[in-house]
Chains A and B, each alone.
Chain A
């Protein structure tokens, strides 16, 4: 290979054209409320597992929307299903059931 003096590294940008959102679409069918999230962050701030695994329902939703499944699933590892996120959500999203649905649909690596 020729040396051009620079390397092409994989882009850190999210390419929505290539993102595999088939699971997300399925999730949307089971949890239509997921689209209501306005990313206020109440869930993350209230979450007792946040300090352990960075668990954040807000980030979870964004990651899944962007096709970043791996990051999303990793966050769930310390979720205690305590329901605080559901209590504080100003949009009334049933985050607790959303988490269970994600646990059902997505796979751990």
Chain B
């Protein structure tokens, strides 16, 4: 009872605080979205799918999905049916919200009516469902592998209190209802338990401690809830409409970021997903632990965790509640204070200006300068296809700004974006071609080039092949395609490179591909990971790529290419190289 009041008021205050922390325009947008029938429908559907049925978890692992949805949906139905019962039998009590929870204790009902029997059956059925979920949860503690999880989170003390009280609630409820089943009625489960209990404990006074224990467990659970991972249950209900309203992280700790942090259920799916996880020492640097440290305000650890991350975005891609581990980390990085601030105002634009009226402007980028084969192959493809193009950075240019963005220094990044935007607009080009996914992502997300098409070379080659400007000869080699983080998860480009490669030869897939592809380990995202710490990650990613025994590893990122090339036994190529060799 106390627990319930506590949790309700806590949630309400939390809700108001998060909404108040949103910037004004975001808040407005949020409220507008709430009354918009389309997003409203989406909100309701998402809340049902994610919070009750856990559709995403079902897709990942059936047992895991069943465990969550049985507990959540079962409990939800117990509450709903409990309320219906109260409304039906004792409508005058319906205002007391605790009444339905302890309905069996207060009301002596018989199952003589059909209606009663039906509800009793439903109640028992859902109780059984919840119990089966709880049983699976206990089993999962011991054998997480069966649930598709190699490693799970290390729970904190309060998490354990919450966990055990959650586990205790339903068996105790069963026990309590079992004791009272002959007075207040029950169905297949509670009735039969009642017979068993009656056979050796005939005294009805036993029911009192059982009901007390049940209500205590319930109370403890709700009181500790705000301080445990179970806070994700109420927060997620808020996060879903916020996300559907299109709100993004603007402040590292407040508003949307806070909603995400508290929505983290500490399930630990991100631990297995994290490419750094191949080394045990990095396990505590995964998103679950970031969220935990942010809740605890442990600044030292927050900095450590957020700086180490490769920003591959895989934890965000697989997170069942949609916590964006990579964006959260960039936001944390943006809190750093620097006393030296680069400023590009003095860079003269004359030296950098290009003329590409009506042509394709090819921006190779910093990383491509270190893998000249990509630039050479791309230029050769353009020539073969008869495309008029101009290089934007033959002698080097201004960086795209994405690496600066990743370091959380938004002002500097914005300045570079402005400088580049001016050069590109002044060039008169119609298309901007990029061979580096790191550049591509920021050009897509942050540049406003009005009308100039921004295209990655995987898309461009695909287009050239489709339009017939490029003819590719097939061979019988097996190609495996590695999805670069920034191109795949970052920009959602998965199909075009595969289309192109299947024209060149046989395309095989890596064990984990597309959305779940494993970062090569060379990412610029990590600020602190030294070169020597990355080898294990690259080798792990290579092992993942070579399961189908390919002849060539193909990727579409200069950084992935050089990282893999360092450790691979197979040839590693950029898609431009592969295609250039095969087209006439």
CB atoms of A and B under 8 A apart anywhere in the complex?
A: yes
Cβ of A103 and Cβ of B340 under 8 Å apart? Answer: yes
Q: With contacts A48-B396, A51-B395, A82-B366 known, what are 20 further pairs, Cβ within 8 A?
A: A52-B347, A77-B346, A78-B346, A80-B403, A81-B403, A81-B407, A81-B412, A82-B404, A83-B366, A84-B367, A84-B370, A87-B367, A94-B527, A94-B530, A94-B531, A100-B407, A100-B527, A103-B340, A104-B337, A107-B339
Q: Which of A90-109 contact B (CB under 8 A)?
A: 92, 94, 96-97, 100, 102-108
Contacts between chains A and B (CB distance < 8 A), count? 99
Nearest Cβ distance between residue B406 and chain A, in whole angstroms? 8
Which residue from B369, B416, B530 sits with its C-beta under 8 Å from A84? B369
Which residue from B337, B340, B342 sits with its C-beta under 8 Å from A80? B342
CB-nearest residue of chain B to A102: B340
Enumerate chain B residues within 8 angstroms of A102, measured Cβ to Cβ: 340
Cα A97 to Cα B342 in complex, Å, equals 15
Cα A59 to Cα B584 in complex, Å, equals 47
CB-nearest residue of chain A to B522: A87
A33 at the interface (CB under 8 A from B): yes
Tier of interface size on chain B: 35 or more
B139 at the interface (CB under 8 A from A): no
A and B contact pairs by CB, cutoff 8 A, 8 listed: A73-B340, A80-B403, A81-B403, A81-B412, A82-B404, A84-B366, A94-B529, A102-B340
B interface list, Cβ under 8 A from A: 307, 336-344, 346-347, 351, 366-367, 369-370, 395-399, 401, 403-404, 407, 409, 412, 416, 524, 527-532, 559, 562
Enumerate chain B residues within 8 angstroms of A104, measured Cβ to Cβ: 336-339
Cα A92 to Cα B403 in complex, Å, equals 19
Cα A94 to Cα B533 in complex, Å, equals 11
Enumerate chain A residues within 8 angstroms of B524, measured Cβ to Cβ: 83, 96
Enumerate chain A residues within 8 angstroms of B398, measured Cβ to Cβ: 48, 80
Nearest Cβ distance between residue B459 and chain A, in whole angstroms? 24
Cβ of B347 and Cβ of A78 under 8 Å apart? Answer: yes
Cα A59 to Cα B412 in complex, Å, equals 23
Enumerate chain B residues within 8 angstroms of A73, measured Cβ to Cβ: 340
Enumerate chain A residues within 8 angstroms of B337, measured Cβ to Cβ: 104
Cα A105 to Cα B341 in complex, Å, equals 12
Do most interface residues of chain A lie in helix, strand or loop, or is the interface mixed?
A: helix
The list of the 8 closest CB pairs from A to B, nearest first, reads A92-B531, A80-B399, A82-B399, A103-B340, A82-B366, A103-B338, A48-B396, A107-B339
Cα A103 to Cα B416 in complex, Å, equals 18
A interface list, Cβ under 8 A from B: 33, 46, 48, 51-53, 73, 76-84, 86-89, 92, 94, 96-97, 100, 102-108
Cα A46 to Cα B411 in complex, Å, equals 24
Which residue from A48, A76, A86 sits with its C-beta under 8 Å from B340? A76
Nearest Cβ distance between residue B338 and chain A, in whole angstroms? 4
Enumerate chain A residues within 8 angstroms of B397, measured Cβ to Cβ: 48
Cα A108 to Cα B343 in complex, Å, equals 12
Enumerate chain B residues within 8 angstroms of A108, measured Cβ to Cβ: 339-341
Cβ of B340 and Cβ of A52 under 8 Å apart? Answer: no
Given A46-B370, A83-B366, do A78 and B342 touch, yes or no (CB 8 Å)?
A: yes
Enumerate chain A residues within 8 angstroms of B307, measured Cβ to Cβ: 97
Which residue among A33, A81, A97, A107 has the maximum number of chain B CB atoms within 10 Å of its CB? A81
Enumerate chain B residues within 8 angstroms of A77, measured Cβ to Cβ: 342-343, 346
Enumerate chain B residues within 8 angstroms of A92, measured Cβ to Cβ: 530-532
Given A92-B532, A94-B530, A94-B531, do A106 and B339 touch, yes or no (CB 8 Å)?
A: yes
Nearest Cβ distance between residue B47 and chain A, in whole angstroms? 41
Enumerate chain B residues within 8 angstroms of A81, measured Cβ to Cβ: 342, 399, 403-404, 407, 409, 412
